[in-house]
Amino acid sequence: MKKTTKIPKATITRLSLYYRQLELLEFDGYRLVSSEKLAWLCQVNPAQVRKDLGYFGEFGIRGVGYDVRDLQAEIKKILAVNRDWNLAIVGIGKLGSAILQHQNLYIRGFKCVAAFDIDPRKIGKISPAGIKIRDIEELEEIARDLNIEIGVITTPASAAQGIADRFRRAHINAILNFSPARITVPECCLVENIDFTVTLDMLTYKLGHDIVQQYSA
Amino acid sequence: MKKTTKIPKATITRLSLYYRQLELLEFDGYRLVSSEKLAWLCQVNPAQVRKDLGYFGEFGIRGVGYDVRDLQAEIKKILAVNRDWNLAIVGIGKLGSAILQHQNLYIRGFKCVAAFDIDPRKIGKISPAGIKIRDIEELEEIARDLNIEIGVITTPASAAQGIADRFRRAHINAILNFSPARITVPECCLVENIDFTVTLDMLTYKLGHDIVQQYSA
DNA sequence: CATTGTGAACTCATTCACAGCG
DNA sequence: CGCTGTGAATGAGTTCACAATG
């Protein structure tokens, strides 16, 4: 078992992909999988799979492969998804509502337990997901009561930084930001951005320059 | 001007970020910007900005900086977003509808001009965005008629590969895939994935391991 | 003896440092 | 003189190749 090696960000992304493929393999009745097979399924190099896993321990059996179920459990531990996480969503427009109800998230243990907006016409209503839309002013209180650890921003760009600051005050230190705004947070906070236009720009760039497919995160 | 240097994928992602900041700078009345300022706004290194731009030409004025408006235009050309693109969306659930109506995409020239589903209860209806939901069987015909070049998958994972194959047959060679399924396409096709759970796994990993903020794509 | 685990080699990306130039 | 543009240096991430081993 290694210690204190710096782990590439891409390794974590891949672990998430490995996990998903392991779920499918288990569903298909596989008990064992080799790094070669798993790599093939995830469109990466087999050595990459072994190296990625090697950062965290020795999970395989030499000459045999990896136990599908055991490896799933190990990756869940590594990604800290061996338990549920409570999410708050701010900005209950079309996108916010979609995420609020997104089955993939729920199944994987990401529970959207609170919804906020500033629009008085929305506040007090029950979202189709069955969750009451609250005034953003209540964020701090609700975050504490419901033990919310991840905040999701689905507001327009102009509101994003303000919401990030409010998350900070509510001791929500991890943010998933769907707005195209780039958020500034203190060192202790985490932000991941999902920006549709950036990803589309990547596609159009490649289309415009006749670049052929590599793998993509 | 350089030739045939291989350009990092991350460079393209950053160009998209630079572009957005330039829009904001122009809106705020700036005519010039230095690599240092632009870098600061995007949370990257100034040399990185100059290097990224350097792959594509010489857009600055030494001793002065970059013309905000000119640089915008250059980046638009590089990203091939100096024109509109027509998108087809397949899978008109909550997420699909949200994307169909997403203003950020529309403003940036990504026009959702067609919507498809397999559910007979949805087919024929007009989506809130004012676009008729069509049977997936019509994809090939509509794609040709409306000159659709980018396909968006917002179906469940199980349907994703089938949709990708249909895109291929309809000569839609660029795919934005929101499903967690990993799609296989021939070399000539492009796929970019947006997978919410992968991004959330990144957050929980960092939360679980007390990792502090770096920048994130 | 097939497959893992891993140091070493290699490839790719970022940053430095300064020459080049308006 | 100040800021861009870029080769060279550094750093990070991937792949190779093979020793270790169940």
Contact yes or no for A194 and B194 at CB 8 A:
yes
Band the pLDDT of A4: cuts 50, 70, 90: low
B44: the nucleotide nearest its CA (via C1') is C14
Domain that holds residue A24: 9-78
- Which residue type sits at B140? E
Q: Is residue B4 part of a domain?
A: no
Place of tokens 């504490």: A144
Partners of B94 on chain A (C-beta within 8 Å) are 94, 97-98, 101-102
Q: What CATH number corresponds to the domain at position B178?
A: 3.40.50.720
In a shared domain, residues B89 and B72: no
Would an 8 Å CB–CB cutoff place A73 in contact with chain B?
no
Per-residue pLDDT at A213: 65
Whether A57 contacts A74, CB under 8 Å: yes
In a shared domain, residues B51 and B32: yes
For B100-132, the DSSP string reads HT-HHHHHTTEEEEEEEES-TTTTTPBPTTS-B
Whether A100 contacts A115, CB under 8 Å: yes
Q: Is residue B214 part of a domain?
A: no
Residue A171: count of CB within 10 angstroms of its CB: 11
Helices (H), chain A: 9-27, 35-42, 46-54, 68-79, 94-100, 103-107, 139-146, 157-169, 196-209
- The C-alpha atoms of residue B150 and residue B170 are separated, in whole angstroms, by 11
In a shared domain, residues B14 and B104: no
In a shared domain, residues A93 and A184: yes
In a shared domain, residues A194 and A89: yes
In a shared domain, residues A70 and A90: no
Q: Is residue B209 part of a domain?
A: no
Low-confidence ranges of chain B (pLDDT < 70): 1-4, 213-217
Whether A58 contacts A1, CB under 8 Å: yes
- The C-alpha atoms of residue B174 and residue B167 are separated, in whole angstroms, by 8
- The C-alpha atoms of residue A86 and residue B43 are separated, in whole angstroms, by 29
In a shared domain, residues B69 and B132: no
| Residue A59 predicted with pLDDT over 80 | yes
In a shared domain, residues B17 and B108: no
Element (H, E) at B201: helix B196-209
In a shared domain, residues B89 and B191: yes
Per-residue pLDDT at A2: 39
Whether B17 contacts A157, CB under 8 Å: no
* Nearest residue to C1 via alpha carbon and C1': A63
Q: What CATH number corresponds to the domain at position B32?
A: 1.10.10.10
Q: List, in sequence order, every residue forming a beta bridge with A32; answer none if it has no partner.
A: A67
Per-residue pLDDT at B187: 87
Q: Is residue B124 part of a domain?
A: yes
Q: Is residue A184 part of a domain?
A: yes
- Where a domain ends, among A78, A102, A133? A78
Whether B216 contacts A192, CB under 8 Å: yes
In a shared domain, residues A43 and A133: no
Per-residue pLDDT at A214: 57
* Mean pLDDT over each residue of chain A, to the nearest integer: 95
DSSP 8-state assignment for residue A132:
B
Which residues are CB-contacts of B7 (< 8 A; sequence separation ≥ 6)?
A: B55
Contact yes or no for A212 and B101 at CB 8 A:
no
Among the residue ranges A93-102, A121-130, B160-169, the one predicted with the least confidence is A121-130
In a shared domain, residues A99 and A162: yes
* Nearest residue to C21 via alpha carbon and C1': B62
Q: Is residue B98 part of a domain?
A: yes
> Which of A15, A17, A28, A79 should we substitute to test contact with B (largest number of B Cβ atoms within 10 Å)?
A79
CB proximity B61–strand C (7 Å threshold): yes
In a shared domain, residues A112 and A190: yes
Per-residue pLDDT at B214: 59
Element (H, E) at B41: helix B35-42
Nucleotides of C under 7 A from a protein CB: 1-7, 12-17, 20-22
Average pLDDT on A51-63 reads 98
Would an 8 Å CB–CB cutoff place B129 in contact with chain A?
no
Would an 8 Å CB–CB cutoff place B47 in contact with chain A?
no
Q: Is residue A191 part of a domain?
A: yes
Total of domains in chain A? 2
| Residue A152 predicted with pLDDT over 90 | yes
Nucleic strand D contacts from chain A, 8-67, CB < 7 Å: 8-11, 44-45, 47-48, 50-51, 61-63
- The C-alpha atoms of residue B27 and residue B19 are separated, in whole angstroms, by 12
The pTM for the full model equals 0.95
Sign of CA dihedral A40, A43, A48, A49: negative
- Where a domain ends, among A60, A78, A96? A78
Per-residue pLDDT at A197: 98
- Where a domain ends, among A78, A102, A123? A78
B80-113 burial, b at 16+ Cβ within 10 Å, e below that, comes to bbeeebbbbbbbbbbbbbbbbbbebbeebbbebb
- The C-alpha atoms of residue B152 and residue B192 are separated, in whole angstroms, by 10
Nucleotides of D under 7 A from a protein CB: 1-7, 12-17, 20-22
Q: List, in sequence order, every residue forming a beta bridge with B60; answer none if it has no partner.
A: B66
Whether A17 contacts B198, CB under 8 Å: yes
Q: Is residue A206 part of a domain?
A: no
Per-residue pLDDT at B213: 66
Whether B189 contacts B170, CB under 8 Å: no
Vertex A159 angle, CA A158 and A164, to 5°: 125
Which residues are CB-contacts of B162 (< 8 A; sequence separation ≥ 6)?
A: none
